[in-house]
Each structure stands twice: as C-alpha cells, then as structure tokens.
Structure 1
Amino acid sequence: MSSKDRSPQQQTVDLSTLSVDNLAAVKKQLDDELEHLTTSFAKLRQAQNKFKECIATVKTGLRPHKAILVPLTSSLYVPGTLSDTENVLVDVGTGYYVEKSAADAEEFYTGKVKALTENLGELEKIVAQKSQSVQVVENILRQKVMASGASSSS
C-alpha cells in the first residue's frame, strides 16, 4: 500500500518480514473485512432497489379507487382502495412516517437513490483495494510456503 492509500492511524508493515503464521492471520483478517464489505455492498444495493421501486410506485401506481391489499400484520392482508392519490406516507426511518405529496415523495426517494449510488461507488473502490491487498498477501504467503518447503526438503 502506498502512503496515500492509508489513513493517518494505519501503519505500513513490510509483509515479506512476517512469518507464515502472521501472514495467514493477516489474510484471514482481510478476508473477514472483505466479506463484511461485500455483504454491506449487497445490502446497500438492495436498499437502493427498494427506493427505486418506491419511485416507480409513486409515479405509476397511485390511481384513484385502485384495488390494493392493506397489511394488518406481516402476513395478514385485507382488500382496500386508494381514496387519496395526491398524498402518501413516507417511511423516513426508524418507524417514523411523514405525509408528503406524491411529487415530494418522489423527490425524497430520488435523493435517497442518489446518496446510495455515491456510497456504493465509494464502497466499490474500498472493496477493490481490499481484494488487491488479499491478493498481495496470498502471493507473499504462497512464496514463503514454497520457500520453506524447498528449504526443508534440502
């Protein structure tokens, strides 16, 4: 890693000076971090898709007297109809809902999609850097294992 890729509290370590056990531990840590970042990326992508669905619903799904299913519980629904298609309740997070006009709701969700797109781009760069770090550690670990195998068989 170059010094520009590091945050101020990180220190560089010459990987070639580490033992095979230490390199294996570093690789495991990097693999764990990569798995966590990949999972986070998938969850952010999923949230982005849900917000895009909300935009599509606000644009095309609000028709007067349209038959819908109204959830009473997570698995129990009753039939209903939309009486007000100009206003919607928007989940703004942590169980809070705000009444907004359809246009304001669309703008709200568009902002969410834009923010998530930016976050996903940044996270994608971090995942690529971690993947590259894993490859570097794997290469050095492979070289050390081969070298120790060659020296022990001599």
Structure 2
Amino acid sequence: MATPSGQTVNVHDLDVPQLADVRKQLEDELAHLTNSFAQLNQAQAKFRACIENVAEISPNNAGKTILVPLTNSLYVPGKLADPENVIVDVGTGYYVEKTRTQATAHYTAKVAYLRSNLATLEETLQKKRDNLNYVTNILQGKLQAQAQAKA
C-alpha cells in the first residue's frame, strides 16, 4: 500500500486502528466509484435512447405534431418542420443543428466513449473490492489474534 508521500507500507505491519482506517478509506472510495459507475451507465442509456429517437424520425413525419422537451418534465406540442435536421445537446447547455446521420454518429461515439470508460472503471472497482477484502481479512485475523491473546 502506498502512503501520501509515495512510500510503500506493508499492511501486515499496521495495527488494528490503522487497518480500520485503511478499510474505511477503501469503503469510501468503493462507494464513490460505484456511484460514478451507475451515473455513467445512466448517461450511456440516455445516449442510446437518443439514437433510437433520431432513428424514429423520417421524412414522412414532416408536419406531424410532436412533444418538444423544454425541461426534464415539461413538454410542449410542436410540429416537425424539418425531419432531416435535429438539434443535438453537445453539453453544458449548448445545442447544435445536425443531420440525422451526424446526430446518430455523435451519439454512437458518446456511447462508445462511455463503454470504454465503464470498462476501465469496472477494472478499478474490482481492484478496490479485492483490496478491501484483503484488508478486511487481515483486520479480522488481527482481531482474532488479540481475542485469543486476551483469553
């Protein structure tokens, strides 16, 4: 295990309170990473939904009534004037007009980017879980040794 100064410390050399602190830190990191993983999964699902929504638009839909989102929960009726072009949210409140093909490519790239980040994050989560299990086993062993020494 590495310390903030970059030195490596053998966890077997730590006493029970120090091991408990390391365990708590690993649990906190694991909770944060798990939350981040869930948020990335949600974002990926939203981008996939965008791909499906763009695919549903066709030239036959011109002039049809649609619901236009103003916020996450507020929609107003509108008419589809140009089915070949869509407005794409490119982040931080900026919107760009793109063709349906460009919009699909944009969202497909976002999904692929998130997929690679999710794979990396999943590996990190597994390493953190393994570290937590390792530290927990050492802590339990030391606690049992202390209990036997007292008995």
TM, length-normalised to structure 2 = 0.90
Distance of aligned partners of 1:145 and 1:127 in 2 relative to their CA distance in 1, 3 Å threshold: same
Q: Which residue of 1 aligns with 2:36?
A: 40
1:13 offset after TM fit, Å?
Answer: 1.5
RMSD after superposition: 1.7
1:10 offset after TM fit, Å?
Answer: 4.4
Mark the runs of 5 or more structure 1 residues left unpaired by the alignment: none
- 5 Å-filtered alignment, 1:5-84, equals 10-62=6-58, 63-72=61-70, 75-84=73-82
Per-residue CA deviation, residues 85-142 of structure 1 (Å, 9 max, x unaligned), is 1001111111111110010000000000000000000000000000000000000000
Greater shift, 129-138 or 71-80, is seen at 71-80
Distance of aligned partners of 1:76 and 1:122 in 2 relative to their CA distance in 1, 3 Å threshold: closer
Q: Using the alignment, how far apart are the partners of 1:103 and 1:23 within structure 2?
A: 55
1:78 offset after TM fit, Å?
Answer: 2.5
- 5 Å-filtered alignment, 1:101-116, equals 101-116=99-114
Q: Using the alignment, how far apart are the partners of 2:67 and 2:14 within structure 1?
A: 61
Distance of aligned partners of 1:111 and 1:34 in 2 relative to their CA distance in 1, 3 Å threshold: same
1:17 offset after TM fit, Å?
Answer: 0.8
Q: Which residue of 2 aligns with 1:137?
A: 135
Identical columns (%): 52
Q: Using the alignment, how far apart are the partners of 1:52 and 1:73 within structure 2?
A: 19
TM, length-normalised to structure 1 = 0.88
Per-residue CA deviation, residues 5-37 of structure 1 (Å, 9 max, x unaligned), is x8xx74432111101000000000000000000
Mark the runs of 5 or more structure 2 residues left unpaired by the alignment: none
